[in-house]
Structure 1
Amino acid sequence: MTRRTEISNSRRLTIATCQFPVSADIRANGAFVRRLMREAARRGAELVHFSEAALSGYAGSQFDSFRRYPWEVLDDETRRVRDLAAELRLWTILGSTHRQRQGKPLNSLYLIAPTGRAVKRYDKCFLMPRDCRHYSPGRRLATHTLNGIKFGLLICFDFRFPEIWREYLKRRCRLIFLSSYLAAPKPSPVMESVAPATMATRASENVFWLVANNTSGERPWCGSRVLRPDGSVACQAPAGRPAVLVHTIDLAEDAKLYNPIGRLALRVARGERPWAEQDT
């Protein structure tokens, strides 16, 4: 295997997506994250991926507001995760909260390199109404290329909006990492059906590999999963308990999949339309 700090053009990437019961206890979240990072590294992962707000906890779900929030604890736990990423030489996508000098915090994903440095940050663009009480929306997308595979980052409610996925397609991404908190205190039969179906649709209509992570806390609507570019499930974790799901994304597999969309999806994303501008 290529060393995790080196650049490869193999177009293969072994990922681990990790689920655990995210809570308001930042120290407990940090302990979970580091334990699962070590397990992912032992199992050969080059990149490890976590849920929405995995380290910080999710405002409006685990705690009521950011008033008296222990930012110093979050800063310390973030440093410990970054140090471990460097020790393990492991790329890490960490869900957390980013504090701004002005305005509400951002619901964020940090892409941490095997040096321990955060090289990219994605801030959740589409906020649910309750999220707007606690967070500011993000304003830009985030992409990175690893082992010759260009990928993008998204968070939870973003999966409802096809426009943002098309933007990543226009940027020539082949892989999306989606971090979510798809759970509630009570069962939701509708979302238990709709959430996985929507993920499969987004993967297939854009010809993306999709690594979709979810918390295992409360009553999750689905377990974490890896979807192929045809929308089929490559592997999935059981909902409701901690797990490390390891899979090798191999772009060479794409040619073997049923794919009637192909390059047409990219042309449509760039504005091509088969219909006339006016009705007949």
Structure 2
Amino acid sequence: MRIALGQLVTGPEPEKNLSLIEDGTTRAAEAGADLVVFPEASMACFGTPLAEVAQPLDGPWANAVRDIAAAAGIVVVAGMFTPATDGRVTNTLLATGPGVEASYEKIHLYDAFGYAESNTVAAGSRIVTIDVKGVRLGLATCYDVRFPELFRAHADAGAVATLLAASWGAGPGKLDQWELLVRARALDATVWVIAVDQADPAGEGAVVQGTAPTGIGHSRVVGPDGSVRHRLDAQPGILVADVDVDEVAAVREKTSVLANRRLGVQR
């Protein structure tokens, strides 16, 4: 399977960000990708009043992404915000394109490092996988990467890869944590991890204020053995990678961490 990673910097205006998604999707399709993954908060960057920009899954922004995917003939995964019932929003991944229509609401909210995502975002509770050309893929968002059980749940559901869309918070040690965590989750579940972050907005001349997680770049394609196969730096870019889905079975035969679990053991 050929997968494209669209590392970009989004601003506060959803309509302008659609042009970035359209450009990245076109480039991914021209490179022969079956699927392109864009970061968390592709609709609007964190630091934006999210309730003001949130739209339902059948709203104009999501429908525009559907039109982009249909025109390119590939599956698009992109982060957006949808209204929640309590005045907050849900941090949602939209997956749409040929044979695919799904959404995932971020389960683990980023209440850490001086930021409280739960003040404005309601948590999801549903594990979601999608099938692209007969290949099962799990969906995850940013802070989810600190929770290995989600990635193992993807593997238990038959996924050979997790698509991780992020807008990673900057700060001391955060790049090291990002790379450590995406590699660890690949090993935990013996899946490919396709980790797509927002590019570093400071590198594009943006003034970053406060503690909102606006991305550091360094998107990664990690194999099921935990090795980094492809990477980007901090700047915006499109990375196209061929993922050998058969490698997952080979790694699981050698490293049987899923089969060796003792699920009945409790504290």
Quick check: TM above 0.5?
yes
1:137 CA drift (Å): 0.1
Amino acid at match of 1:75: G
TM-score (norm: length of structure 1): 0.81
Cα distance in 1 for partners of 2:64, 2:131 equals 25
Match of 1:167 in 2: 153
Question: Structure 1 residues 109, 37: CA separation in 2 closer, same or farther (over 3 Å shift)?
Answer: same
1:266 CA drift (Å): 3.6
Out of 45, 48, 52, the residue aligned to residue 63 of structure 1 is: 48
Cα distance in 2 for partners of 1:99, 1:258 equals 40
2:83 pairs with 1:99: yes
1:88 touches 1:114 (CA, 8 Å); kept in 2? no
Match of 1:6 in 2: none
1:156 CA drift (Å): 0.3
**Structure number, greater radius of gyration:** 1
Match of 1:237 in 2: 232
TM-score (norm: length of structure 2): 0.85
Amino acid at match of 1:44: G
Match of 1:8 in 2: none
Out of 246, 253, 261, the residue aligned to residue 247 of structure 2 is: 253
Higher deviation after alignment, 251-260 or 36-45: 251-260
Cα distance in 1 for partners of 2:260, 2:217 equals 32
1:70 CA drift (Å): 7.0
Amino acid at match of 1:232: S
Match of 2:206 in 1: none
2:172 pairs with 1:189: yes
1:183 touches 1:215 (CA, 8 Å); kept in 2? no
1:164 CA drift (Å): 1.6
Higher deviation after alignment, 39-48 or 248-257: 248-257
Match of 1:27 in 2: 15
Amino acid at match of 1:63: T
Match of 2:66 in 1: 82
Cα distance in 2 for partners of 1:202, 1:216 equals 21
Question: Structure 1 residues 253, 167: CA separation in 2 closer, same or farther (over 3 Å shift)?
Answer: closer
2:102 pairs with 1:120: yes
1:195 touches 1:221 (CA, 8 Å); kept in 2? no
Amino acid at match of 1:245: L
Task: State how many pairs are aligned.
Answer: 250
2:200 touches 2:216 (CA, 8 Å); kept in 1? no
Cα distance in 1 for partners of 2:142, 2:92 equals 11
- Over residues 183-223 of structure 1, what are the superposed CA-to-partner deviations in whole Å (9 max), with x where a residue is unaligned? 43xxx231111111111011012111110000013354441
Match of 1:5 in 2: none
Cα distance in 1 for partners of 2:50, 2:95 equals 25
2:40 pairs with 1:52: yes
Question: Structure 1 residues 266, 104: CA separation in 2 closer, same or farther (over 3 Å shift)?
Answer: farther
Match of 2:193 in 1: 210
Cα distance in 1 for partners of 2:197, 2:82 equals 20
Cα distance in 1 for partners of 2:54, 2:160 equals 38
For structure 1, the residue ranges without an aligned partner over 5 or more in a row are 1-12
Match of 2:124 in 1: 138
Local SS of the residue matching 1:265: coil
Structural mapping, 1:259-278, within 5 Å: 260-262=254-256, 264-268=257-261, 271=263
1:47 touches 1:92 (CA, 8 Å); kept in 2? yes
